[in-house]
Amino acid sequence: MKIVAILDPSVGTENLGDAIIYDAVREEIDRLFADPLVIRVSTHEYMWRESRRLLNKASHVFLGGSNLLQPRMEWNTQWKLSPFDLLHRIDAICLGCGWKYYGRNPTRYTKALYARALSGRYLHSVRDAMTQAQLQKAGVANAINTGCVTMWGLSPDHCAGIARHKAATVITSVTAYNADPDNDRFMMQTLFAQYDQVWLLVQQPEDLAYAQALAPGSFGRVVQSLRRFDELLAAPCDYVGTRLHGGIRALQKQRRSLIVGIDNRAIEIARDTNLPTIHRKDLAGTLADTIAATRPIEVQLPTDAIGRWRGQFAAI
């Protein structure tokens, strides 16, 4: 029996984006291993005896994407490791993981923790060049830039099937924990002017109240489950919003997408892959024209790196 463990950010979270990441991680695990028994351990809780017992049963432990890496692991709330983890090897293999902050160098504690927590045998898949560079600073030299695992299916043939023209309906999103009321309000006003119907994707609970404050009385159409989001994406529509993985999900379903970049995640991924992204600070000058323009989606995947990462499991 093949037993595989996933250190999973979608367990114990309210963020719908983590469920989108998990779908892609699980699809990749199923691709690599024939009918594996999968153990899921949350990254949002510290690991104690039972978690370690489960991980010890696995032949491979994967760190399942998301923004889990950062320079000060003593303060990390997304992948909760403690000083006790310096005493135990986890040997986790990164699968599409990202670095959380710009401009900060890894601490000595972070370097020591990664030396114990991350595999030294396998190549790590990271989502952008910045994450790869930061891991190298942290002493992890065996990382390669594969792009986000959620994007691995966005081949040229897949993207060729995405509409080039504006739809009548748009699904939007905001990010309450990273608010910019002036620019976010401008985005909303532009979308209501450009589209016949505007739906709001609520990726975290606080997003709804924030959106309603930006556009009082405007949001009668709200989607807050992945199942319902996929149902909406089954019909012609666009996506324009600040939630990165909402936009990637739309691309997965071959819907025209424009991600409004608010932090290093979308911006760094776009720099490497041509993911359709516009910086939030640039909305006033370009958003309406970008929506109206006829434009192909031409994602450029690092296929050689993805193949190298997959290839190390080929003999298993």
Look up residue 82 and give its DSSP letter.
Answer: -
* pLDDT for the residue 266: 87
Look at residue 316 and tell me if it is in a domain: no
Look at residue 94 and tell me if it is in a domain: yes
Any alpha helices (H) in 92-243, and if so which ranges?
108-117, 129-137, 156-160, 181-194, 206-214, 226-233
Look at residue 250 and tell me if it is in a domain: yes
* pLDDT for the residue 316: 63
Look up residue 16 and give its DSSP letter.
Answer: H
Cβ atoms of 251 and 162 within 8 Å: the answer is: yes
Output the CA torsion 115→118→119→122 (10° steps): -120
Together in a domain, 143 and 181:
no
Together in a domain, 147 and 160:
no
Euclidean distance between CA atoms 4 and 2, whole angstroms: 7
* pLDDT for the residue 74: 81
Cβ atoms of 125 and 309 within 8 Å: the answer is: yes
* pLDDT for the residue 217: 80
Euclidean distance between CA atoms 21 and 202, whole angstroms: 16
Together in a domain, 161 and 51:
no
pLDDT (tens digit, 9 = 90+) per residue, 204-247?
Answer: 999 999 999 998 888 889 999 999 999 999 999 999 999 999 99
DSSP secondary structure of 259-293: EEE-SHHHHHHHHHH---EEEGGGHHHHHHHHHHS
DSSP secondary structure of 18-55: HHHHHHHHHHHHHHHSSS-EEEEEETTS---HHHHHHH
* pLDDT for the residue 11: 86
Cβ atoms of 106 and 138 within 8 Å: the answer is: yes
Look at residue 298 and tell me if it is in a domain: no
Together in a domain, 219 and 108:
no
Together in a domain, 7 and 148:
yes
Together in a domain, 11 and 142:
yes
The residues near 256 (Cβ < 8 Å, ≥ 6 apart) are: 162, 163, 164, 165, 166, 167, 238, 239, 250, 297
Together in a domain, 148 and 160:
no
Euclidean distance between CA atoms 149 and 127, whole angstroms: 7
pLDDT (tens digit, 9 = 90+) per residue, 164-199?
Answer: 999 999 999 999 999 999 999 999 999 999 999 999
Torsion sign across C-alpha atoms 160, 165, 166, 168: negative
Together in a domain, 103 and 232:
no
Look at residue 237 and tell me if it is in a domain: yes
Q: Give me the domain span that covers residue 99.
A: 3-152+303-311
Look at residue 297 and tell me if it is in a domain: no
Q: Which of 158, 150, 168 is nearest to 236 (CA)?
A: 168
Name the domain count of the chain: 2
Strand order in the sheet with 3-8: 37-42, 3-8, 60-63, 92-97, 124-126, 143-145
Cβ atoms of 177 and 78 within 8 Å: the answer is: no
Cβ atoms of 86 and 110 within 8 Å: the answer is: no
Together in a domain, 147 and 161:
no
Together in a domain, 148 and 8:
yes
Together in a domain, 147 and 169:
no
User: Which residues of the chain carry a pLDDT beneath 50?
Assistant: none
**CATH number of 124's domain:** 3.40.50
**CATH number of 271's domain:** 3.40.50.2000
Together in a domain, 39 and 131:
yes
| Cα R_g (the chain), whole angstroms | 20
